[in-house]
């Protein structure tokens, strides 16, 4: 092992000595071959010695000219081996030519050519042997701690991963085989590792080979196939890591660094969304853009994506200073040419909102500020009304007063036939913007979508924390379903939706198929290499106040029309008037004025204000 470790330090010297010895022995081997045996008496030592000395000089010159002493032996491939053969063939012919030109007593051209062949074979052979031992070095010490690794993917990424592991990580991983769906590749070897099956063999191989960890390293695969293969891997209950995408195929180091734990987004397998960035840029570039709730999950991602389209100025407004400070620092570090103003303020504060709008005069307002947690708002309904309803009303009125071109309300699927206070307040916000649009030059629109993966307080981060603690993972009902979308995906569609706005629309985003929360819990546990109800218990806790089994994205009376984008739809505009909205708000103002109003009275008032609201009778 000490010899292997010190190999790199003396590589050139050692290889040079070995090559010289090969040249010497090759010429004697030629004499044995030509003379059918070695008779020392009959040998012409003058010619042999002259040939050896001349060959050593010529061969070493050409090996250096071909830069072959600079190659790393453990990384040599067919290309380098071809160069060795070429250098040897050129060298042996040059030796013969020198003998003829300078009348040096050398062996015949045929003998020189034969010697060149022996030298080439020997040089390639011993280098291949060295490469084999360097890339398959025997680990010492804690070999029992090595993890049995199964690699999914026999393409370029898989080849790089195999080489990277063999070069630097053999003490950690024992590669048991490679999985690839291409039938032509079965039983072929990649750097000494055999392709032992396709996706249908994964479960069997994991059991037979006692696999400890799986690397999914297919860089170019459809979301559907990715989802199917990952689901098979998930069922094995083995820890799974994944290569994010083809952009990571740069170096072995970056490949290994970019292998990450599988996220639930990979299992959902949604097709990537294509946006018409030109239309978005036309709206945002060189304009003043305001985002309320800028420190939240959706608000902060809105800020990130808006900044890419080069607005003149961004006004980030939030009541919570820590998150706002984080997004402000992030944007200022990345976008030096954009004026970024962070404003600590509550949308409830009518006077403050008026001051902010008068100061900055935004062209476009994205209103993401809201209380969104369903159970909390059931226990604090007046806070939901103050923040969501009257906060929105304040920002809407300021947008109208100060000539905002377009106002975008970030709404929720919980606004559809709401069974909770939070959803009812969001539905009323939709009514406000649709009514206001009829009497204002500002274009008021709303964008409605479901849950986003990884948002603050959402179920995925909660499940991960519960798994990390050893469980239990809590699910309110085994049949409860939700629509899910990634935060960047949702925000990208919001920006795309506003390019279609004419005023008064509620844009509905295609959230794909609803997903069972229980299935998400099971998947996350399995992706952690654990077994549900064995390593991590799943506890059914019962529906929470205001919670329903499934969410809807569209009210039955609204209808639905398509847009130019396949994942964006428009709900039928409402005929509600501003007068009707004002009457509803007056009723709510009476509630808010009295903090001692009973929960029953609040809910009855909400039922009158939002006709589609109904309590969830569990």
Mean pLDDT of 22-26: 92
Q: What is the pLDDT at residue 246?
A: 42
Farthest CA pair distance, the chain: 123
Q: What is the pLDDT at residue 578?
A: 92
197: left (phi > 0), else alpha (psi -120 to 50), else beta? left
Q: Dump pLDDT digits (tens) for 293-334.
A: 999 989 999 999 999 999 999 999 999 999 999 999 999 999
Mean pLDDT of 191-203: 90
The pLDDT > 90 percentage for the chain reads: 40
Residue 421 has pLDDT above 60, yes or no: yes
Cα 88 to Cα 85, 97, 144, 230, distances in angstroms: 5, 14, 45, 50
When pLDDT is cut at 50, 70 and 90, the band that residue 76 belongs to is low
For residue 222, give both structure tokens: 């459809």
- Average pLDDT for the chain: 83
Mean pLDDT of 100-120: 89
**What gap in Å lies between CA 613 and CA 615, rounded to an integer?**
7
Residue where the block lists tokens 């993917």: 153
Q: Dump pLDDT digits (tens) for 231-278.
A: 899 888 888 888 755 444 444 444 455 555 656 666 665 555 566 677
Residue 6 has pLDDT above 50, yes or no: no
Q: What is the pLDDT at residue 266?
A: 61
Q: Dump pLDDT digits (tens) for 422-469.
A: 999 999 999 999 999 999 999 999 998 776 665 555 677 788 889 888
* Cα torsion angle, 51, 54, 58, 60, sign: positive
Q: What is the pLDDT at residue 127?
A: 85
Q: What is the pLDDT at residue 383?
A: 94
Mean pLDDT of 571-591: 88
Residue 5 has pLDDT above 80, yes or no: no
Residue where the block lists tokens 């559809």: 416
Residue 404 has pLDDT above 70, yes or no: yes
When pLDDT is cut at 50, 70 and 90, the band that residue 476 belongs to is confident
When pLDDT is cut at 50, 70 and 90, the band that residue 140 belongs to is very low
β-bridge pairing 260-261 and 239-242: antiparallel
Q: What is the pLDDT at residue 386?
A: 95
- Give whichever of 121-135, 204-218, 238-252 has the largest mean pLDDT: 204-218
* Cα torsion angle, 195, 198, 202, 207, sign: negative
3-state secondary structure of 548: coil
Quick one: DSSP state of residue 415?
G
**What gap in Å lies between CA 564 and CA 571, rounded to an integer?**
15
β-bridge pairing 213-216 and 147-152: parallel
Cα 194 to Cα 189, 500, 576, distances in angstroms: 4, 53, 68
Whose CA is closest to 289, among 407, 465, 199?
Answer: 407
Quick one: DSSP state of residue 387?
I
Close Cβ partners of 453 (under 8 Å, ≥ 6 residues apart): 263, 264, 265, 460, 484, 485, 486, 487
Q: Which residue has the higher pLDDT, 485 or 182?
A: 182
Quick one: DSSP state of residue 319?
S
Residue where the block lists tokens 């205001």: 546
- Angle at 336 (CA atoms; ends 334, 339), nearest 5 degrees: 115
Query: Do 112 and 106 form a contact (C-beta atoms < 8 A)?
Result: yes
Q: What is the pLDDT at residue 331?
A: 95
Q: Which residue has the higher pLDDT, 456 or 489?
A: 489
**What gap in Å lies between CA 407 and CA 393, rounded to an integer?**
12
Least trusted range by pLDDT, from 345-354, 542-551, 572-581: 542-551
Close Cβ partners of 368 (under 8 Å, ≥ 6 residues apart): 291, 292, 293, 294, 296, 298, 299, 302, 410
**What gap in Å lies between CA 198 and CA 152, rounded to an integer?**
9
Q: Dump pLDDT digits (tens) for 522-567.
A: 888 887 778 888 889 999 988 877 676 766 655 444 567 777 777 7
Q: What is the pLDDT at residue 206?
A: 93
**pTM metric for this prediction:** 0.60
Q: What is the pLDDT at residue 214?
A: 92
Whose CA is closest to 518, among 487, 473, 485, 468?
Answer: 473
Q: What is the pLDDT at residue 2?
A: 44
Close Cβ partners of 333 (under 8 Å, ≥ 6 residues apart): none
Close Cβ partners of 108 (under 8 Å, ≥ 6 residues apart): none
**What gap in Å lies between CA 307 and CA 340, rounded to an integer?**
10
Q: What is the pLDDT at residue 598?
A: 86
Domains delineated in the chain: 2-135 (no CATH), 143-262 (3.40.50.720), 282-459+491-512+555-609 (3.40.50.720)
When pLDDT is cut at 50, 70 and 90, the band that residue 92 belongs to is very high
Query: Do 181 and 221 form a contact (C-beta atoms < 8 A)?
Result: no
Q: What is the pLDDT at residue 141?
A: 41
Query: Do 415 and 423 form a contact (C-beta atoms < 8 A)?
Result: yes
Mean pLDDT of 497-511: 85
Query: How large is the angle between the packed helices 578-593 and 599-609, nearest 10 degrees?
Result: 180
Q: What is the pLDDT at residue 1?
A: 43
Query: Do 421 and 378 form a contact (C-beta atoms < 8 A)?
Result: yes
DSSP codes of every residue in 169-201: -TTTEEEEEEE-S-GGGTT-EETTEEEEE-GGG
Mean pLDDT of 568-592: 87
**What gap in Å lies between CA 57 and CA 525, rounded to an integer?**
66
Q: Which residue has the higher pLDDT, 165 or 506?
A: 506
User: What's the distance, CA 564 to chain centroid?
Assistant: 27
Query: Do 600 and 579 form a contact (C-beta atoms < 8 A)?
Result: no
Query: Do 505 and 561 form a contact (C-beta atoms < 8 A)?
Result: no
Residue 521 has pLDDT above 90, yes or no: no
Question: What's the half-sphere exposure (Cβ side, CA atoms, 13 Å) at 75?
Answer: 12
Q: What is the pLDDT at residue 407?
A: 96
């Amino acid at each position: 092992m000490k010899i292997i470790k010190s190999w790199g330090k003396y590589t050139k010297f050692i290889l040079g000595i070995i090559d010289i010895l090969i040249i010497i022995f090759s010429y004697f081997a030629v004499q044995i071959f030509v003379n059918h045996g070695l008779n020392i008496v009959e040998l012409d030592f003058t010619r042999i010695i002259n040939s050896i000395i001349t060959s050593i000089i010529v061969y070493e010159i050409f090996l250096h000219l071909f830069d072959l002493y600079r190659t790393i032996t453990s990384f040599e491939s067919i290309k380098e081996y071809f160069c060795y053969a070429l250098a040897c063939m050129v060298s042996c012919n040059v030796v013969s030519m020198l003998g003829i030109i300078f009348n040096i007593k050398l062996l015949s051209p045929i003998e020189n050519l034969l010697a060149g062949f022996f030298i080439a074979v020997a040089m390639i052979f011993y280098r291949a042997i060295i490469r084999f031992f360097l890339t398959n070095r025997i680990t010492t010490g804690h070999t029992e701690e090595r993890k049995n690794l199964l690699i999914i993917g026999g393409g370029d990424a898989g080849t790089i991963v195999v080489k990277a592991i063999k070069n630097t990580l053999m003490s950690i991983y024992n590669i048991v085989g490679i999985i690839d769906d291409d039938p032509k590749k079965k039983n072929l070897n990649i750097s000494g590792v055999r392709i032992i099956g396709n996706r249908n063999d994964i479960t069997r191989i994991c059991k037979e080979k006692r696999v400890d960890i799986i690397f999914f390293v297919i860089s170019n695969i459809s979301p559907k196939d990715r989802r199917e293969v990952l689901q098979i891997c998930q069922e094995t209950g083995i820890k799974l890591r994944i290569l994010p995408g083809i952009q990571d195929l740069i170096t072995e180091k970056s490949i290994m660094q970019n292998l990450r734990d599988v996220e639930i987004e990979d299992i959902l397998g949604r097709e990537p969304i294509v946006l018409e960035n030109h239309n978005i840029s036309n709206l945002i570039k060189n304009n003043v853009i305001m985002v309320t709730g800028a420190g939240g999950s959706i608000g902060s991602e809105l800020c990130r994506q808006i900044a890419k389209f080069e607005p003149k100025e961004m006004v980030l407004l939030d009541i919570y200073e820590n998150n706002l400070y984080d997004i402000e620092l992030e944007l200022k570090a990345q976008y030096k040419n954009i004026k970024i103003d962070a404003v600590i303020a509550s949308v409830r504060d009518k006077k403050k909102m008026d001051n902010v709008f008068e100061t900055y005069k935004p062209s476009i307002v994205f209103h993401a500020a809201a209380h969104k947690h369903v159970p909390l708002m059931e226990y604090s309904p007046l806070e939901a009304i103050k923040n969501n309803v009257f906060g929105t009303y304040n920002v809407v009125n300021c947008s109208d007063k100060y000539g905002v071109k377009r106002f975008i309300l970030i709404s929720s699927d919980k606004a559809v036939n709401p069974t909770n206070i939070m959803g009812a307040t969001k539905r009323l916000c939709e009514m406000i913007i649709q009514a206001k649009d009829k009497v204002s030059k500002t274009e008021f629109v709303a964008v409605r979508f479901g849950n986003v993966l990884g948002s603050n307080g959402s179920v995925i981060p909660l499940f991960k924390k519960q798994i990390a603690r050893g469980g239990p993972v809590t699910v309110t009902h085994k049949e409860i379903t939700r629509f899910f979308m990634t935060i960047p995906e949702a925000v990208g569609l919001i920006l795309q939706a506003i390019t279609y706005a004419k005023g008064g629309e509620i844009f509905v985003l295609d959230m794909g198929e609803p997903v069972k929360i229980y299935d998400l819990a099971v998947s996350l546990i399995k992706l952690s290499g654990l077994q549900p109800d064995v390593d991590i218990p799943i506890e059914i806790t019962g529906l929470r106040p205001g919670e329903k089994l499934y969410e809807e994205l569209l009210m039955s009376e609204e209808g639905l029309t398509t847009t130019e984008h396949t994942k964006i739809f428009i709900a039928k505009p409402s005929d509600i008037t501003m007068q009707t909205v004002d009457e509803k708000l007056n009723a709510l103002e009476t509630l808010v004025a009295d903090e001692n109003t009973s929960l029953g009275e609040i809910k009855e008032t909400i039922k009158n204000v939002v006709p589609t609201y109904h309590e969830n009778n569990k």
